[in-house]
Structure 1
Amino acid sequence: MVIVLGWVLVLLLLALWSGLVWSGQALLAAMLAHAGTLGVGDWSLPAALTAWLPVPVAEWLAALLENLTPQLQALAGTLPWLSGGVSVLAWVVWSVGALLLLGVGLAMHVAVALWRKSRNSTLPSGVTALR
């Protein structure tokens, strides 16, 4: 029964992992696909951020952003092209996580089986352990 509960837990974690990776992939692909639509005037600090920053820091960030606008615009133009690679990245990340979860499930299975075996071998002869 413990082995079954362990595998159910692993499968639930795998379902949660799959949903998390799928959601992240969809969000990242959508963000990258629409990144090239930003215009030159869209590169500014949000008002909510400048309200919380000290005035010299906000002015420095605004000047830095203004100086980097051509580079950021060029980078934003390449981002929609990169959105196709998000699917490959998501599959790689999902595979690594799934293999780790299955490894944990297998290790838990083996540990419970070895524990049961050692428990049964320490019992006196004629006494059977509950399964």
Structure 2
Amino acid sequence: MHVLFCSYGNDSIALTQWAYERGLKDVVCLYSDTGWSASWWADRVAHGEALAHRYGFGTARTESEGMIALVKRKRGWPGAGGQGQFCTGELKVIPALEWLDANDPDKEATAMTGIRRSESKHRSDAPEHLDESERHGGRDL
């Protein structure tokens, strides 16, 4: 199985097309609903999922407690007062790992993300391949 982590922004739409053009089989596009998006984003997600279905790919979604509830529970905004950026881990990474563990307990899936190295200094040296990605439960990335 190939699990494409899709926000349905431009990078993940490009990744979905890339996977289709290379003939990948047994593909699932996984969307993490953080509850923190513009009102029109739901239409973007629906269009992205429709594209995935046209390509013969499956789609799935994870949910979390949501950004507002997370900020209230943490009593602060991510990065405020030295708290660090907890939102990605709690709203995306943890729910995605739970989904992966439920749907790929033997850790045979290949996880795929669409990121551009030119997008940030942090991503500029991102490796193309990892044999074991900690953020993806030790799966191939």
Q: Do both share a fold (TM > 0.5)? A: no
Q: Which has the higher contact order (CA 8 A, sep 6+)?
A: 1
Q: Give the structure with higher Rg (CA).
A: 1
Under a length normalisation based on structure 1, what TM-score does the superposition of the two structures give?
0.25
| Structure number with higher helix proportion | 1
